[in-house]
Amino acid sequence: MILSLTCQQARAYVSDYINGVLDQELAYALEEHLQTCASCPPLYAGLIALRRRLHELPRTTPSSSIGLRIAQKVRQALSEE
């Protein structure tokens, strides 16, 4: 028998579900809830879109000049001490 979740419970579990780490029984219950609830599916769609967009963002890589700039700053700060 599939568990029945309230909206509050479903929203508490949805982040783990998106990460693929939710217990299987709870995952089924969450999927069942998403098929019958009016307010949770748009929230779920929003979370999925958010995660997809964040995955697409470029990872921050420092410019090659930063090493030199910070070395100069550190040298200046240490010589002032």
Contact residues for another protein, defined by CB under 8 A: 6-8, 11-12, 14-16, 18-19, 21, 36-40, 42-43, 45-47, 49-51, 53-55, 57, 59-62, 64, 66-71, 73-75, 77-79
* Contact predicate 20/45, CB 8 Å: no
Q: How far is the CB of 25 from another protein (least distance, A)?
A: 19
Both structure tokens of 26: 């709870």
CA dihedral 72, 73, 75, 79 (to 10 degrees): 140
Q: How far is the CB of 27 from another protein (least distance, A)?
A: 15
Q: How far is the CB of 10 from another protein (least distance, A)?
A: 9
CA dihedral 57, 63, 67, 73 (to 10 degrees): -90
Residue 25 or 73: the one with the smaller Cβ distance to another protein is 73
Residue 26 or 47: the one with the smaller Cβ distance to another protein is 47
Residue 53 phi/psi, 5° resolution? -65, -40
